[in-house]
Amino acid sequence: MCGIVGAIAQRNITPILIEGLRRLEYRGYDSAGVAVMNDDHSIQRVRAVGKVIELEKSLSETPALGHLGIAHTRWATHGKPAEHNAHPHISDGLAVVHNGIIENHAPLRKKLKELGYAFTSETDTEVVAHLLAYHYGQSKDLLEAFRQTLGEIHGAYALAVIHEDEPETLYCSRMGSPLVIGEGVEEHYIASDPLALLQVTDCFRYLEEGDYARVSREQCDIWNIKHEAVERPVKRYEHAAHSLDKGEYRHFMLKEIYEQPEAITQTLAGTLGDDHVLTALLGPEAETRLADIEHVHIVACGTSFHAGLVARYWIEAQVGITCQVEVASEYRYRTVVVPKNTLLITISQSGETADTLAALRFAKDQGYLATLALCNVAGSSLVREANWRLLTHAGPEIGVASTKAFTTQLVALLWLTTALIQARGGDKQQIITNINALKSLPGMVEQALQLDTRIAELAERFANKHHALFLGRGTHFPIAMEGALKLKEISYIHAEAYAAGELKHGPLALVDENMPVVSVAPSGSLLEKLKSNLEEVRARGGQLITFACERVEHAEEGTAQTITLPWVEDCISPILYTIPLQLLSYHVALVKGTDVDKPRNLAKSVTVE
């Protein structure tokens, strides 16, 4: 999705802007641009379609030097990827960059056209530039004009503005899209993600919904949505800069797959006793109210939704309360029936996914006992707006395809399941089994990672494939869904997941000798049934690839291949079986030659609807 960087300093800020954009590249974008205030107080704008490197090439031909500037990477929503649609957009001496969507752009565009403004792009952002220029023309007061503009636009935005009449000031605001202000020594920076600025600072002020700010080199004035002056505390960013490097790895995705034992260890740190889980980390209110929860609703998107689907099996089977799981984009627009004492859990790696955030806001009026954000980013909007929070400690995830965020979400959800059993005075043996299994998990994941070379060989089979089926049963059905999502995301192979028992109700018609069928077949009560489903595939010549428990025998005939994993308790098995599927999609993507960390059309954090 789009990214924003801005800076005001005594030195030339263009290298800060470019490095910031480079650090935001992982989020996905199709064009980039900068606007820099030259020493003669004129704004110079340079834009380019494609990667940041293209912008750098343009800048080498037309250098832009200055002490104040804003920059942007654009992920097209209104108007195709093209230079004229790239940000910044300008109007009467001002430049604007914007993340999000201005929902009332059409009537505003009409009104501004009638006022004589000429549009050069199809974007919703250009409306903001002209509207601000219009109000400034009326009042000759930029802060006032900014306030009036914010009062007229509806939708989601993070905005940054510079104006030739105020060559020492940067204006910014957020509503629905994140924005931070970085603190330097007599310099300030802004960005849509702190990662963009770690080369210059690790101290940030996090703007809240509706906040707007006027930022100079020495000063930072912030107002809230009610126009009251507010202080937003400076917080130190906790992650080490090295977590943003690929290190010895070829791709961030591979690095992040290999970081999982450590990420799981960090997520569990301080949460487990020998025979009980330590619920104090949820906060005093949550701790005392866990026992009151009689129903759970889980809302999330994509991979995080898959984590929720696994948790449903755990919560219903182990805690004995109902659990409903739904994608946020549907949940937020329907009539929801919320039984008494229902906990709403939103799951998100980024904590900024627009649909999940909107679902949380929608849920606030639905009579839930409480809302809980399960998230990897402590300062995110989701975490700040939920009543309770449960953080994963996976560290920054840069690859668009979610890996360590998913497995740590599952770890946190199994921990939460165990906390619910404990709070309700449930099965003590199940609590101990879950705790011991979770403690053993980092070591088991290490073992699964050793399958890398074998899986790389297997991936060659996908070189000429355009379709694949993934099968699983029980808690491994969502894992099959996650495997299929990973494969389509980064290798562009059309992949579908089915609960294996559904095969004969339709998808079996697709199976022939050209169809790879990947099955997740650990031990467990449904294993014999799954084996029968796999026989149905084998009988039709499908190319079976089975990930199975070392203690279970699977027939290997013809093209069928079985890869075995160590035996683990049922409760952590879905987490373990995720690993080979991640490795498979990674190696297939290498075979296909796709852009593993930045797959086409996708963004890391989907901050628009």
Which positions touch ligand AGP (CB under 6 A)?
Answer: 301-304, 348-350, 353, 356, 400-402, 489, 605-606
User: What is the DSSP track for 287-306?
Assistant: HHHGGG--EEEEEE-HHHHH
Backbone angles phi, psi at 221, to 5 degrees: -100, 130
Cβ of residue 100: shortest distance to ligand AGP, in angstroms?
16
Which C-beta is closer to ligand AGP: that of 212 or that of 388?
388
**Three-state SS for 69?**
strand
Which of these, 522, 515, 552, lies nearest to 536 by C-alpha position?
515
Cβ of residue 357: shortest distance to ligand AGP, in angstroms?
9
Cβ of residue 587: shortest distance to ligand AGP, in angstroms?
16
Q: DSSP state, 237?
A: -
Cβ of residue 300: shortest distance to ligand AGP, in angstroms?
6
Bridge partners, 72 (sequence order): 4, 33
Query: CB of 134 within 8 A of CB of 121?
Result: no
Residue 224, Cβ density class (10 Å: 0-12 exposed, 13-18 middle, ≥19 buried):
middle
Which C-beta is closer to ligand AGP: that of 125 or that of 392?
392
Which C-beta is closer to ligand AGP: that of 191 or that of 549?
191
**Three-state SS for 565?**
strand
Residue 296's Cα: distance from chain center in Å? Answer: 23
Query: CB of 342 within 8 A of CB of 324?
Result: no
Cβ of residue 12: shortest distance to ligand AGP, in angstroms?
35
Peptide bond into 233 cis (omega under 30): no
Which C-beta is closer to ligand AGP: that of 6 or that of 28?
28
Cβ of residue 603: shortest distance to ligand AGP, in angstroms?
8
Which C-beta is closer to ligand AGP: that of 34 or that of 359?
359
Residue 419's Cα: distance from chain center in Å? Answer: 26
Which C-beta is closer to ligand AGP: that of 402 or that of 491?
402
Query: CB of 79 within 8 A of CB of 68?
Result: no
Instruction: Look up residue 201 and give its amino acid.
Output: T
* Residue whose Cβ sits closest to ligand AGP: 302
| Catalytic residue annotation | 2, 604
**Three-state SS for 532?**
helix
